[in-house]
Chains A and B, each alone.
Chain A
Amino acid sequence: GENVGLHLPTLSVQEGDNSIINCAYSNSASDYFIWYKQESGKGPQFIIDIRSNMDKRQGQRVTVLLNKTVKHLSLQIAATQPGDSAVYFCAETITGNQFYFGTGTSLTVIP
C-alpha cells in the first residue's frame, strides 16, 4: 500500500495557541490530500482537502499546506480549543477510488 505517515504520534498544545500537525506522503501521483479528525468512539470526520495542484487551502480556523517538493502536508489549527482534542489523520487518494491513511497524531489541548 501507500506510505502515508505522520511525523509525531502525540502533540500537546495550550488552549489558544496554534497547532501544526505534519504528514509525509510517498506517491507523487496522488490527486487529493485530506485531513480527518477522529474523536474517541466515533468515525473519522472530514476536515479539509487540498487538490494536488494547490499549495494552500483555508477553512474555518484550519489551513492545509501542501509541499510537493518534499512530499509534505500539514494542518494548521488556529486558536486551538479543547474541542479540538482528537486524533488527526492525513490521507491521500490517487484515483479518487482508493484512499490511503496515515496512523494518526493525537492532539491534546491543555486548558
Chain B
Amino acid sequence: DAGITQSPRHKVTETGTPVTLRCHQTENHRYMYWYRQDPGHGLRLIHYSYGVKDTDKGEVSDGYSVSRSKTEDFLLTLESATSSQTSVYFCAITPSGGGEQYFGPGTRLTVT
C-alpha cells in the first residue's frame, strides 16, 4: 500500500465551512499529490508538492490550498467548501521520476 494513509476517510460538511484533509506517508518520498475523482472526469490533479514547502497548482486548483511543512504530511484545505467540491479525494506519491504513482485509500467528502 506504499505506506499512504488519508484522514478522515469520510466527511460530511456544510457549504461555507473550512475543511482540511490529511495525507501521510511513511517512506519519505519527495513528490506528493492531491487528486479529485468525479464520475465522467477521471482523476484530476488539484495540487502537488515536490518537497517541504514546495508546492504547485494542478488543473483544478481553484478553491483549494495545500501545505507541506514535513516530508511525510501533505494537507489539502478547502477554505470555504462548496457543493461542487463534493468528491472523492485521493492522495498519491511518486517514488521516482518515472511513471509509477501510488495512491492512498481516498477520502469521500460530501458538502451539503
- Enumerate chain A interface residues (CB-CB to B < 8 A): 1, 4, 31-34, 42-46, 49-51, 89, 91, 93, 96-104
Q: Are B103 and A44 in contact (CB under 8 A)?
A: yes
Q: Are A33 and B99 in contact (CB under 8 A)?
A: yes
- Enumerate chain B interface residues (CB-CB to A < 8 A): 31, 33, 40-45, 48, 50, 56, 58-59, 90, 92, 94, 97-106
Q: Are A89 and B42 in contact (CB under 8 A)?
A: yes
Q: Are A97 and B99 in contact (CB under 8 A)?
A: no
Alpha-carbon distance A47/B106, docked complex (angstroms): 18
User: Assuming the A-B contacts A96-B97, A101-B42, are A45 and B56 also in contact, with contact meaning beta carbons closer than 8 angstroms in the complex?
Assistant: no
Q: Are A103 and B105 in contact (CB under 8 A)?
A: no
Alpha-carbon distance A43/B106, docked complex (angstroms): 6
Instruction: Enumerate chain B residues within 8 angstroms of A32, measured Cβ to Cβ.
Output: 98-99
Instruction: Enumerate chain A residues within 8 angstroms of B50, measured Cβ to Cβ.
Output: 97
Q: Are B42 and A102 in contact (CB under 8 A)?
A: yes
Q: From A89, which residue of chain B is reached at the shortest CB distance?
A: B42
Min C-beta distance of A48 to chain B, whole Å: 9
